[in-house]
Amino acid sequence: MNKNITFLAFLFGVFALSSCGKTTTINTNMELTGKWELQSIVQNSDTIKKPVLAKGQMPVSLHFKEKGELEGTSSTNILTGFYETAQQNTIQMGGGGTERAETQWGNLFVNAIPNVNLYDLKMNKLVLYYENNNQLIFSRVQ
C-alpha cells in the first residue's frame, strides 16, 4: 500500500513540477499515436521477453492519443496520464493508476515508465529509453 501511495505521489509531483509557472504546449508526434504492446525489456544488457499471459491478465500496452493523452494497461491494472514529445526524440510521461495484484512483468513496466526520457520510432517498433540506456520495446497494435 505504501509503495502505491509513494508511486502515485511521485507521478503527480512530476506532473505538478512540469506544469508550474509556465504554459505548456502539448506536442505530440502523429506517428507515435496509436496502441503499442510491450514485447521485451532490456535492463543492464539482459533482455526479458514478454511472458505468456495467465488467465485474467492483460497485455502490457500504451495507447498514445492525440492532444497528449495517454492510456495504458499493466498486467492487471489500467493506467491513465499524459505525454509530451520535444526535439531530439525526448519524451516526458506521467499519470497514475494502481499496482494491485501486479505481476513481475507489470511491475517492471510500471517502475520504468516514470523514468522514460527518450524514444525511437521505426516502422512498427517503438523503443522507450530509461535509466542508462535500458529499454522498453513495443510493437504497434493499431
**pLDDT tens digit sequence for 81-138:** 999 999 889 999 887 766 677 899 999 999 999 999 999 998 899 999 999 899 999 9
Q: Is 5's pLDDT higher than 80?
A: no
Taking 3-state DSSP, the helix, strand and coil percentages for the chain, each rounded to the nearest 5, stand at 25, 40, 30
**For the residues of 56-116, what is the DSSP string, one character each?**
T----EEEEPGGGEEEEE-SS-EEEEEEEEEGGGEEEEEEEE--TT--HHHHHHHHHGGGE
Residue indicated by cell numbers 491494472: 77
Question: Are 110 and 72 within 8 A, CB to CB?
Answer: no
Length of the chain: 142
Structural domains of the chain, with CATH: 2-140 (2.40.128.270)
Give the per-residue pLDDT at 29: 64
Assign 38 a pLDDT band (cuts: 50, 70, 90): very high
**Over the chain, what is the mean pLDDT?**
81
pLDDT at 15: 42
Beta strand 46-49 pairing with 34-43: antiparallel
* Distance in angstroms (rounded) separating the CA atoms of residues 109 and 43: 11
pLDDT surpasses 60 at 62: yes
Beta partners for 84?
92
